[in-house]
Chain A
Amino acid sequence: MINGKDGRSASGTGNGRRPGRSATGRPGSKFVRALLRDRKGTAGAIFLLLFIVLAVFPGQIAPYNPAYIGFPRSLPPSAAHWLGTTSQGQDIFSQLIWGTRQSLLIAVAAGGLATLIAVLVGVSAAYLGGIKDGILSLITDVLLVIPIFPLIIVIAAYLRSAGLTDIIIVLGVLGWSYGARQLRVQALSLRNRDFLTAASVRGERSRYIIVAEILPTMTSLIVATFLGAAVFAVLTAAGLQFVGLGDPSAQSWGTMLYWAQNNEALGAGMPLWVIMPGVCIALLGGAFAFLNYAFDEISNPALRPVRRLARTPTVRSGGQPAAVPLVSDGQFPGAASGPRPGRLLEVRGLSVAYATGAAPVVAVDNVDLDLDEGEFLAVVGESGCGKSTLMLAISQLLVKPAGITGGGVVFRGREMAQMSDKQLRHVRWQEFSVVMQSAMNSLNPVMTIGQQMADACKAHSAMSKKEITERSREVLRLVSIDAVHLGSYPHQLSGGMRQRCMIAMALLFTPDLVIMDEPTSALDVVAQRSLMRQIKELQDRLGFATIFVTHDISLVGHFSDRVLVMYAGQVAELGSTSSLFGTPRHPYARALLEAFPSVRGPKIPLTGIAGAPPDVAAPPPGCRFQPRCADAMPECSVIQPPLYDMGDSVVRCLLYQDAPAGTGTLAGRSARVAHAAATADGARPEQAGVAQPAPLLEVDDMSRHFNLRGFWSKKTLHAVDDISFAIGRREIVALVGESGSGKSTVARLLTLVYAPDSGEIRFEGKPISALRGRSGRLAYRGHVPMVFQDPYASINPAYRVSHGIMRAIELHRPDLRRPDRRAEAIRVMEAVGLSPAETMLSKYPYELSGGQRQRIGFAQALALRPKLIVADEPVSMLDVSIRVGVLNLMAQLRAREDVSILYITHDLASARYVADRLIVMYAGHIVEVGPAEQVMAAPRHPYTQLLLSAVPDPRAPRDEPGPADAAEPPKVVNPAPGCRFEPRCPFAIDECRRITPQLGEVAPSQFAACHVALMEARTQSPATVAPAGEQAPGGKVQDR
C-alpha cells in the first residue's frame, strides 16, 4: 500500500535549495564511499543484496516447490517446515523465498519505467519552458492528485486478468508524477546555472546539453526517484494482489497474504502465514527507503549526523608550540596602557574549529582583540580567512559542527562562555547586536518587518504595543526608510532596503556594540557608499562601537579607527587605520592595499598576490602567508611567527623580529612601486594605439525587451534600448554599469543567447541576422565566446577541466586533427597561466580555486581562436588579491593573442586599469563613451560623475563629501520618454523630462547622452564641467 511518504525523498524541498554550496561533487566512487560510511545506507544496501540473492537463486535456497500442495495442511512451524504449511498444504517458507523474485522484479521494472518517464517529463518541462512546460506540469499535477489506487482498481476491474506485465506497465505509467515534479524543480534551478548557458554559447545542441550536461549533475536525484518509485511499486502491487486483483496463482508475497486472508489464517492459528510476507515487504521497502534516506543526507550536508567538538586548551596546527604573545595582557596598540574604563570587549586566544571529516578544521587560530566604547574596528580579509567565523564566535552564535576550542570572550567584564543561556539572551540585542551578512535571507520570509521588530522588543522589554510601533518607526527613520514598510514582507523590499531594515533592527535598543558582517557587499557602488556614510553618521550620533567585517579594505579607510587584517584564520596585522594605510607592515596587508586599482592619480601596474589562500584543513608549516610572500626568508617556511608589537600596530611577521617597537624597517610603498614598475613583465596595461579603421563589431540601435508575466496589464522590461557602439581590433572596451543597467543583457545579445528585438549587430561588416542556420551561428560563436561571472557555476562540476576545453576544440577547430587537439588544449592552459597544463587538465573543478577556475573560462574561450572575448564580470566574484592577476591576464591576452575583449563590470577602477575605451550604461541606455583615461579624468555625464565619486579611494586623504544619493538604479518598466537619470540628476532641466538625450560629442572622441553636457560643450565653456573630485557639493550653478 502507499503510505504517507514511504521512501520518497524525505527532504521534501528538492535538491535545488542550496546550489553551489552543498555540491554533490561528482558521481561515482566518491559517492559510493560516502554511502557506505552512512550506517543507514549500509544497512539498506545489505538487505537489498540479500533480497537480490534470494530472487536470483530461489531454487537453490528454498527447500520445496512452492506450488506443491501435497504436504499436510495448516501445520505449525517445525523442523521440516520452518514456517509451517498453508491451508492448501504448501510450504510457507518456500513460498516466501520464491515470492522475492516477483516483488523484486516489480520493484525494479515498474520503478525503472516510472523513473524513466519522470526524467523525460521533468527535465524536458524544465528545459523547454513556456507553454510546453505549463502543459507537462499540469499533466504531472493532475496525475499526482488523482488517487492512483482507486484508478488502478477501476482499470483492473475492466482488464480482468492483471498479469505481472500488466501490473508493471500500469504502475510505471501511473507512478511517475511525484518524481517528475521533483526532477523538474531541480532541473529548473540548474537551468539558470551558468555552465548550461556556457554550453549553449559554446554551440552545443539542446539534445547534447540535456543528456551530457544536465543529467549527470542530477544523478543523485534520479537515483532517489528510482528508489522511491520502487517502494511505491512494491507496496501498490502487494495491495492489488491482496485484494484479489492480481493473478491468484502467482508466487508473490501479496498473493500469499490474499490466500492467508481468505483462509482466515489469523483466526485459525496460522499467524506466520500473515506475518512473514508482510515483514518481507517491509524489509524490502525499508531497504529502498534507507538507501533513499542515506541519499538525502549525502546530498544535503545539513542533515548529516553531527559530532561533538572537544574543547582543548590550545589547538595548534603544524605541531608548533603555542606562540608566546609579545603583547602583554590588557595592553593593546591604539589604546592607552592599562585597562580602560571604556573597555567593551576583550577577546583572548580565541580559536574556533569545525568538527568535520577526520580531524577538526581550525577556522580561527588564537585571535586577540580589544574594543573600546564608540570605536570602529574594521576586520578585513579574503574568503576563507575566518572573519565571519570569528564574528559568530564572538557573538556566541556558532552551531555544530563549529565550536570554540580555546580562549575566551569578555564583554563588559563578563566572560561570555560562562553565561547561562538565559543570561546570554538577556544581554543580546540590548547590549550588543549583529547585522548578518547579506540580508537577503536574514529576515523571516513569513513575517512582516514590523512583526519581527516587535518580536525583538517583546523579548527584552515590557513595552506596550503602541510603544513598540513608535520605537520601530523611529529606527526606520534613522535609516531613511518609510514607516509604511513596517507592514511589508521581506520579499517585497529591494536588497538595499532589506539591509537597512536589518541595521535599523539592530539599533532598536541602541546597544553598545553592533557587529556588522559585510553589510554592504550585495549593494551597488553608489548605494554602498551612501550606506557606509549613513552607518558612520549613526555611530557618531548614537555612540555605539562597531566591528565591521568586509573583504574590501578600501571601503573602510575613511571610516574605521583601527583595522584588523586576517589571513588564514590568524591575525596578520592589527593597528590604527592611519598606521595600517600609511605604513602597512605585514606583506599581506601591504599587497592587499596595493591590489586596488585607483580611479585617480597615476596608473600603476599592479601585481596582485600570486597563488591562493591556504587550505584551512592543511595549512602550510611555518608562516601561512609564506608560499605567496615576495619577501619570504628561509626561516619563514619553518617557524610560525608570533605577534610583534610595533607600537601603533602588532604584526605577525618574522621580518620584524629584531625591530624595536615603533619602527617600520621595510621600504615604503613608493620604493615597492618603483620596483614593480621596473620588473613589470607584460603586466603593464598597454595603451592601445588608435583603433583600426574597420571595427570588429558594430552595434546599431539595438534593443531588447522582456515581457513580464502580468495577467491584467502588459508590462515590458526595457533591458536595453537603442544602444550603439563599436569595438575595434586588439582593443579592450569596458562596459560599466550597475545592476539593472542592461550590461549583462548586452553580453547575452552579443553571444546569441538572446536575439535583439530591433537594431543590428554587425561582425566584421556582416550582419548577424544574415547568419545561415546552425553552421553559420556556430562559426560566429567561434569568433565571439563568453567568459562568465561565477567561476563556481560556469563549469560543469561533473566533468574534468579538460572536458569543456576539448568540447570547444571539437566544435570549433575542425582544422586540428585529433592528435593536435590535446596539444592545443595544453597551449591555451599555459597561455592563461595554468601550469603544469597536463596536471591541471585532469583535475576536477572542485579541486581548483576561484581564480584558477576563471582562468579556465579564459582558456576555453582562447581554444576557439576568437576575435572578441565577451567577459561578463569575470572578476567580481574573486578575491581582491586574485582579481589583479586576471585583469593582467586580459591585458596580456590582448597583446599576445591578437584578440579584443569586451570587459563588462560595475567597478570603474578595474575598468580604468585595463581598458582602452569606456562605455557607461544606465537603465538600458549608453550615457557616456570615450577613451578610458579621458572619461575618468573628466566625466561629462552626471551619472558617470556620481559613479566616480562613489568609488572609495583609500589613497585619498579624507572622505570626500560627495552626493548624498542613496537611490538604487530603476527597473525600467514601460518607461516614459525623457532622460532616465533625470529623477536623480542634480542638473536636470525641463528638457530632460521630455526628450530622450542622444549621444553627442562633448570632447574629442568622448560622447555623452546628456542635454546639459551637450549644451555646455557646444557653448564651449569647459570650466563649468569640472572633473570629479573638485566638484562643489551643490553642483554647478544652473538655471532650472
Chain B
Amino acid sequence: MPFVLRRLGFFVVTLWAAVSLNFVIPRLMPGNPVEVLEGEHPHLDPQAIHSLTVLLGGSYQQGLAAQYVTYWQHVLTLNFGISITTSFGTSVTAMVAHALPWTIGLVGVTTILAFILGTLIGLVSAWRRGTWLDSALPPIFVITSAFPYFWVGLILIYIFAIRLGVFPQEGAYNFLNDTPGLNWHYLVDVFEHAVLPGLTILITAIGGWILTMRNNVITIMAEDYVRTARAMGLKPWRIMWAYVGRNAILPNLTGFAMSLGFVVSGAIVVEYVFNYPGLGTLLLTAVNALDYPLMQALFLLITVAVLLSVLAADVVTALIDPRTREAS
C-alpha cells in the first residue's frame, strides 16, 4: 500500500530529525560541551564522564561527522549511558523502563479514552442540534479546553484530596503499605491513585475533541450523501453511524495525530503535579538536576511514542477511508 509506505517514510524522517536535534542541541553551547558539563558537575568520576561522552557522541577529538555516526550507533543499540545526577550510576535504559509502564497506563489510556468519549459526545451533540445539550456544551468546553492541564490537577487535588480526602494526593501507589504485584490490594490502590491524574487529563483534553467532532458532524450533515441516505429512508442510527460518523471522524483522526504532541506535553506536567512516577516526572526531575543523558533519552522516547501513535492513527484512517489508500 503506497500510503502506508509513505507514512513509514515520514516516520523515519521525523525520527532522524529528532535524533539529530538531540545531537545538535548540546553543541549549541559555546565551547567544548563536555568540558562545560564537567565544569557544572565538578565531582564526576570517570564513569560519569564516559556517560557524558556517550551522550555527546564520542570523543570530542573526532570530527563532527564521525561523532554523528557514533551517536547514531549508540542510539540504535539503545545505549544511552548512565544517569549522572538523578540516580547516579543507574543505567538510563533501566530508569526509563521502570517509568514507562506508568505513563502508558495513565497517559495512554486516558488520552484514548478522552478521544473516544469526546468524539462520541460531539457526534451525539451535533446530531441533536438545537436542543439544550447542544447550546450549553460548546461554550463550556471552549473554556475547559483553555484551562492549563496542571492547574486543573491542582484544583482537583484541592477539592478531592485535601478537602474531601477521598483520593490520594500524589504518587502511583502507597509505597509503605503495598507490595507491587498482582494482588488485589495493590491493584485497587493503583487505581485510586490514578483517578485524579486521569480525570485531569480527561477533563482538559476532551473539550477539544468534542468541539471538533461537533463541527465536523455539522458540516458533514449538510452534505449531499447524507440527504440521499435520508431520502432512502434509512434508520437515523444507521445514518448517524455509517454515513455521518465514519466521514466526520476522518478529520478528527488527523487532528488527533497532529495534536498528540500537545497532549503529551500536558501529560508531562500532570505527572509532575501528582508526583506520578512516569516519564514526565522523570523528565522534569532530570531537567532540574541537569541530568543530560536521562533527559535526552526521554526526549527521544517521547518522540518515538508520539510518532508510533501518529502512524497508528494514519493506518486507522486508511482503513476507514478508501480514498486515502489510493492517494498519489
Binding site for B on A (CB under 8 A): 1-7, 10-13, 17, 40, 138, 141-142, 144-151, 153-158, 178, 181, 231-232, 235-236, 238-239, 242-245, 257, 261, 266-267, 271, 274-275, 277-278, 281-286, 288-290, 293, 296, 300, 302-303, 305-306, 308, 395, 397, 399-400, 424-430, 433-434, 436-438, 440-447, 455-456, 459-460, 489, 491, 502, 505, 709-711
Contact = CB atoms under 8 A, between A and B. Distances in A.
Contact of B287 (A144, A157, A236, A459): A157
Contacts of A13: 216, 219, 251
Which of A151, A306, A308, A709 neighbours the largest number of chain B CB atoms within 10 Å of its CB? A151
Nearest to A267: B162
Interface string B254-267: 11011111111110
B290 interface: yes
Interface of B: 2, 10, 13-14, 17-18, 21-22, 25-26, 28-29, 114, 118, 129-130, 135, 138-139, 142-143, 145-152, 154-155, 157-158, 162, 204-209, 211-212, 214-216, 218-219, 221-225, 227-235, 238, 242-243, 246-247, 251-252, 254-255, 257-266, 268-269, 272-273, 283-284, 287-288, 290, 292, 295-296, 298-299, 302-303, 306-307, 310, 320-323, 328
Contact of A429 (B147, B219, B231, B254): B231
Nearest to A242: B150
B146 A6 contact: yes
B297 to A, nearest CB: 11
B255 A282 contact: no
Given A17-B219, A266-B158, A711-B2, A1 B130 contact: no
Nearest to B264: A147
A814 to B, nearest CB: 45
10 contacts: A2-B266, A7-B146, A11-B219, A148-B261, A150-B298, A235-B148, A243-B272, A274-B158, A286-B146, A395-B231
A181 B17 contact: no
Contact of B10 (A141, A147, A288, A440): A141
B234 A459 contact: yes
A2 B265 contact: yes
Contacts of B246: 444, 446-447
Kindly name the residue among B138, B212, B262, B263 whose own CB sees the greatest number of chain A CB atoms within 10 A.
B262
Given A150-B268, A438-B224, A444-B243, 14 more contacts: A2-B266, A146-B261, A150-B299, A257-B154, A274-B158, A278-B147, A285-B147, A290-B139, A428-B233, A429-B232, A443-B225, A446-B247, A455-B229, A709-B328
B261 A145 contact: yes
Contact of A145 (B158, B222, B306): B306
A455 B228 CA distance: 12
B230 to A, nearest CB: 6
B219 A433 contact: no
Contacts of B150: 1, 239, 242, 257
Contact of B242 (A6, A40, A281, A447): A447
Contact of A1 (B148, B162, B299): B148
Contacts of A440: 224
Contacts of A181: 258
Contacts of A257: 150-151, 154
A12 B145 contact: no
A178 B258 contact: yes
A150 B283 contact: yes
Contact of A444 (B158, B205, B229, B255): B229
Given A286-B143, A429-B232, A459-B233, A244 B261 contact: no
A511 to B, nearest CB: 11
B231 A397 contact: yes
Given A3-B266, A154-B299, A425 B231 contact: no
B233 A436 contact: no
Q: Which of B18, B118, B296 has the most CB of A within 10 A?
A: B18
Given A12-B251, A444-B242, A7 B145 contact: yes
Nearest to A711: B2
Contact of B138 (A7, A277, A293, A426): A293
A146 B18 contact: yes
Contacts of A444: 225, 228-229, 242-243, 246-247
Closest 10 CB pairs of A and B: A5-B208, A149-B265, A4-B208, A428-B233, A285-B146, A278-B151, A2-B262, A1-B149, A147-B261, A1-B266
Contacts of A153: 268, 283-284, 287, 295, 299
Nearest to A156: B287
B272 to A, nearest CB: 6
A138, A282, A302, A444: residue with the most chain B Cβ atoms closer than 10 Å? A444
Given A142-B14, A445-B323, A455 B233 contact: no
Given A11-B216, A460-B233, A302 B302 contact: no
User: Considering residues A146, A303, A460, which has the most beta carbons from chain B within 10 angstroms of its beta carbon?
Assistant: A146
Contact of B154 (A6, A141, A278, A296): A278
Given A158-B26, A436-B224, A491-B322, A459 B219 contact: no
A464 B127 CA distance: 31
Contacts, number: 322
Contacts of A243: 269, 272, 284, 287
Nearest to A434: B231
A648 B41 CA distance: 103
B280 to A, nearest CB: 9
Contacts of B138: 40, 293
A286 B142 contact: yes
B211 to A, nearest CB: 4
Nearest to A709: B328
Contact of B219 (A235, A278, A300, A308): A300
Contacts of A6: 145-146, 208, 262
A303 B218 contact: yes
Contacts of B155: 274-275, 278
B230 A150 contact: no
A3 B149 contact: yes
B83 to A, nearest CB: 15
B227 A436 contact: yes
A236 B265 contact: yes
Nearest to B292: A157
A51 to B, nearest CB: 13
A446 B218 contact: no
Contacts of A3: 145-147, 149, 204-205, 207-208, 262-263, 266
B218 A302 contact: yes
A227 to B, nearest CB: 11
Contacts of B259: 2, 4-5, 178
B17 A146 contact: yes
Nearest to A430: B233
B224 A148 contact: no
B290 A157 contact: yes
Contacts of B204: 1, 3-4
Contacts of A141: 10, 14
A181 B29 CA distance: 32
Contacts of B295: 153-154, 157
Contacts of A148: 261-262, 265
A4 B251 contact: no
B234 A10 contact: no
Contacts of B273: 261
A433 B232 CA distance: 7
Contacts of B149: 1, 3, 239
Contacts of A489: 322-323
A302 B224 CA distance: 13
A692 B254 CA distance: 61
Contacts of A437: 224
Given A4-B205, A433-B231, A278 B264 contact: no
A446 B234 contact: no
B212 A158 contact: no
Contacts of A7: 142, 145-146
A456 B235 CA distance: 10
Contacts of A426: 233
